[in-house]
Every structure is written in structure tokens, then in C-alpha cells.
Amino acid sequence: MVRLQSYVLLGFTAFALAAASPATKRRTPLIKDSLPQVPRGWTLHRAAPAHHMIKLRIGLPQSNFAELEKALHEVSDPAHPRYGAHLSKEEVEELVAPHPESLDLVEDWLISHGFDVATLDRSPAKDWITIIVPVHQAESMLDTKYNVYKHEATGMELVRTQSYSLPEYLFEHVDVIQPTTMFGGGMRAMDTTSHIELDDSEPGASAAADDCTNTRITVACLQDLYKTKGYVPKVPGKNKIGITGYLEQYANFADLKQFYQAYVPAAVDSKFDVKLIHGGKNDQNLSLAGEEANLDVQYAGGISYPTPNIFWSTGGSPPFIPDLVTPTNTNEPYADWLDYVLGLSAEELPQTITTSYGDDEQTVPRDYAIRVCNELAQLGARGVTLFYSSGDFGVGGNNKTRNTCITNDGTNTVSFLPAFPASCPYVTAVGGTTNLTEVAVNFSGGGFSNYFPTPDYQKKEVESYLEKIGSTYDGLYNRTGRGYPDVAALGTSFRIIYQGRDVGIGGTSASSPAFAAVISLVNDALIAKGRPPLGWLNPWLYSTGYAALNDITSGSNPGCNTTGFAAGPGWDPVTGFGSPNFEKILALLDLEK
């Protein structure tokens, strides 16, 4: 009976639309994005308060992104005449600016909902418009219903909707609006990948800085292993490395000083610069020091010293434990950080950036993931090398059980779960190794994207690997997806100072700053010779750069009740092409140590 009523209603709706005028049809709300079900782990808790304020970000199509992508490939391809001729901030903004028609139509829509377009908050390229509205107005504008959703395991709450609509005439003029359908990974929109392995509970270092074992890795160990020892940066005033921080992960200066005293004495009086984004903080109360933030600044800084380090602390860690007045936090840290960094001048923008945070790809709506990835491409076009840790759950994404690998598309299909932004083809994803004679560490995130196709620069390597494994895991992953990671570095037993104690820590979030610091030194050598930095690394890496890496040929990344992918000669979705050899990289680039 219910099904019959649905058919009758659908038939009536179709008749009504057919009878409507063309102008009315174009203003008919059509679903822009929807979720087939509430994401796993979340339950609908209650209706969102009508007057709760939401910051909506409206992404307009970037009219010449194809030209930007073409330029990105040309300036990043060692075989192209434009190699190294990175674009300026202004050139990038011109290519991503929306078409005037899109601006006009979106502005008219906003005017119809009472906004003064002269006061709108816009990105420099005008491809993003940000508005702050109460829930009831957002519901009217997007023909939707916002609810408070509760995370079953943590009790955290989040204001989101399972679908939203736009007038038909706006469909081609709006890429994405968030926060709407993005719930984020597991219980947080972003998640670190580090984990404390060992707690000595003793202040200070327990052994010499260069005492290296499989269970004790220091800066000196990495300098020896990756052949950077003895290199003194030549242009630290021109070359910089950036480190992202989220989730109220605070990088502590007292811990850094103690770390340098123990492991990098020459750097003991140096610090990192702190930039606070969208309400970000960096509280120096020692009890609030973050293990992830400390790991990142201590190793990125320790390996690259005296290269200036910039630590960005971005506010917003949705969702959070609510109080009776404010049920949720609707910030989107990805977008807030990108807004800030894309607005930096050439002098302010670091040549190398490392990030140790990410989501399961499937928890990020496809349109939003694509848009974020395209924003990252803008940084690459400007000459920035972006590193992202590949995750710590093997082929199982960021699912902490590692064996419950189910899609959230309504089909409940068993599947490997790729990670994002590591799956974005415009970043260099870093997997993990273990032991001084490196093998793949069993938690190294890796696999194939369900959102992004295999890019041309890696098709040969991906096809070769898939040919080797044949039908193994057929149906569990996307054979035509972007393969990751691209490279790897040690990710176990790093010694850090955390809240005044010398402890061990591991994760691919250790691997990413370690690899990034080595490349930052390469950029220093390039800039000292009057040459441009490497920029987007992958075209160089897949064409020639792989020859300067330490190929990791054993180990695997189990998950989802499987043994995962296996490392082997050449590229593999566990360790990529392997770990860095600084001396070989310099030789390949015709540079001297």
C-alpha cells in the first residue's frame, strides 16, 4: 500500500512539473548531493535548533581549472620546456576564478534570500563565498532539514543533513556547499595517524642521540639512513617547511627545547613560527602538548635545521562534546587551512608542507573531495611540494578495528577503504617502513582511490603491479583508481619529548615529516643554485626520481581480514617507490652535497 502511494505521488509530481512553465522548472529544487544512509557509527539524535548558526561555504566552478591542471603538469614534468616555471598567486587565481555568469546567478540567489552581495566573504579568486546563517535559513535555502547526529561510540554530536537541493538553474554554477553531507571519518572530521608505542616515564633521553636500533630511532638515525648527515642548509632565509596542526594538537616549545638538547644540540636555541588560523591555538601548558604536533615539529625541524619551520594551528575539530546551548561545531578545517595558505604571498609560502591528518575517503563527499584536491593542485602549481601520511590501518583506511571494512553507500559491501587526502593525485602520499634495514610496516596505509582515476604519470607502475597480483582481491578495490602511497619512510620507534617525557611514537605521521624534511633540504640545495624548488613531486618522481630512492621489497599492509597488498620491486601500494636517499637525489639533480 505504501509503495502504491509512492508511485501515485511520483506520477502526480511528474505531471505537475510537466505542466509548469520553463521558468518555474528552472527554479524547481533538485537534489545536489545526498547520502543513501546515515554514515556508519552515527544515529539521528534530534532536530537541529532553528537558530543555531552555520557557516556555509559555497564553491563556484573554477572556469579554467583544465588550464591550471595543464600548467601544473608542464611546470612539474622534467621533460617539459616549462619545467620549474611555477605560476604566481595571481596567475593561479585568474585560472580558478568562476565564470561571470556563475557569479551573477549565485549572487542573485543570495540576494533573493536577503544577503547584501557587497558584504559577502569571498576567497581571493572569488571561487568560494562564505555565509553565516541560522539553521532555519539554511534549510530554506537548501530545501533540506538539518539534524543533530550522535556518534554512538563517543557521544559526540554533529549538525548535518543527509541531502540538500538547489534550484535547477544553479546546478552548473555551484560545485559544492558544505557543511551539509560531510560527516568526516569515524568520529572526527580529521584524525591523526600517530600512536604512542612506548612510555619510558622518565624525563630526558635515556641513551646517546646516535644510539640507533630497530626500536629506537632519533634524528641522527634518520640522517645516517637517508644520507643527509653533514649537509648544512645554504639558504635558510629563502627556503621554509610548513607543518599543519589540527584537533587542538599543540606543539610545545619546552618539549622542543628538551628534544633539541637531547637529540639536536646545535638547534637548542631555535624555535618554529606559529601561525593561528580560524581560531586555532597553541596553548603552551605542558599538559596540553600534543604527541602528533610535537612529533611533527621535532622531526621536521630536527632534520631540516636551520631551515625555518612554520606550524599552522587551524581551529575547528568537528564534532565536539556539546553543551546545552551549542550542540555542535560546524567548522571545516580542510577548507579553513586552504583558504589561509592559498592567500599567502610567494615570500610567505613554504616550498614544502607536511600533513599527518586524514579521513577515510568514503566519509568525504565526492564533490567536496574533488574540490579540496583541486585546491591542493593550486599549491602545486605555485611550486609547493605537499606530503600527506597514508594512514595507519593498512588497506582498511582509518577504521580502528581494521577488520570492519564496509562501504557506506547503502550497499554495505565489504571493501578496502582508501584514505583522503592521500588519494588525491596532486599530493605525494607517504607510507611507512620499520627497522633500520627497511621493510614495509604492517600498518602502512595504501591502496587505490574510489574517487580519483589512475593518473597518467603512474599508469605504467600501477598496471605493472596489478598484473603481478592478478585476480587477488578482485572486487575489494578499484583497479582503475589512483594508487598510493608514492613513497615511504621509517614510521616506528621515533623518540620524541612529550609533556616532558622521552617516549617512543610511531605511525605514517612520523614518516611524512621525515620524508618532507629530506625534500626540504633538496629544495635548499636547488634554491642555493638559483634553481626553482621541486614543487609537485609526482611527475619527477615517477619519471626519474624513483631511481634515487631505497626500494622496499618486503612486508605488507594487512587489514579487512586480509593480508593486504605486498611490497615488491618497484612501485607498490604499501611503500610506493621507497624511502629517500639524499645523496642520490642530489646527484640525480646535478647538485652537490
Query: Of 254, 357, 250, nearest to 313 (Cα)?
Result: 250
Say which DSSP state 414 is in.
B
Cell numbers that stand for 87 in this block: 605560476
Alpha-carbon distance values, 514 to 42, 59, 165, 215, 234 (Å): 35, 34, 44, 17, 19
Q: Do 272 and 309 meet the contact criterion of CB atoms below 8 Å apart?
A: yes
Sequence-separated (6 or more) residues with CB below 8 Å from residue 567: 439, 440, 552, 553, 554, 555, 556, 574, 575
- Exposed, middle or buried, 29 (CB in 10 Å: 0-12/13-18/19+)? middle
Cβ contact 580:226 at 8 Å: yes
Q: Hunting for cell 587542538 — which residue is that?
A: 248
Q: Calculate the dihedral angle through the C-alpha atoms of 460, 462, 466, 468, rounding to the nearest 10 degrees.
A: 60
Label the pairing between strands 385-389 and 428-434: parallel
Any catalytic annotation for residue 415? no
Helix (H) or strand (E) holding 449: strand 447-453
* Alpha-carbon 226 to chain mean position: 25
Rounded to whole angstroms, what are the CA distances from 178 to 20, 131, 183, 272, 369? 30, 11, 10, 33, 11
Residue 483 pairs in a beta bridge with: 448
Q: Is 339 annotated as a binding residue?
A: no
Amino acid identity for residue 42 in this structure: W
The Cα 249–Cα 560 span in angstroms is 29
Residue length of the chain:
593
Judge whether 292 counts as a catalytic residue: yes
Question: Which of 509, 593, 489 lies closest to 222, judged by CA?
Answer: 489
- Is 552 annotated to bind a ligand? Reply is yes
Active-site choice (93, 255, 291, 292)? 292
Q: How far is residue 178's CA from residue 182's CA, in Å, rounded to a whole number? A: 7
Segment 567-571 long-range contacts (CB within 8 Å, at least 24 positions apart): 567/439, 567/440, 568/465, 568/468, 570/461, 570/464, 570/465, 570/546, 571/458, 571/461, 571/462, 571/464, 571/465, 571/483, 571/542, 571/546
456 is in an annotated binding site: no
Which residues are paired to 453 by β-bridges?
481
Dist. CA 288–CA 284, nearest whole Å: 7
Nearest to 492 by CA among 470, 474, 508, 476: 508
> Can you tell me the distance from the alpha carbon of 52 to that of 325, in angstroms, rounded to the nearest whole number?
9
572 is in an annotated binding site: yes
291 is catalytic: no
Alpha-carbon dihedral sign for residues 119, 148, 450, 410? negative
Label residue 278 exposed, middle or buried (CB < 10 Å: 0-12, 13-18, 19+).
middle
Asked if 417 contacts 390 with a C-beta cutoff of 8 angstroms, the reply is no
Binding residues: 551-552, 570, 572
Query: Catalytic site residues?
Result: 292, 296, 509
Binding residues for Ca(2+): 551-552, 570, 572
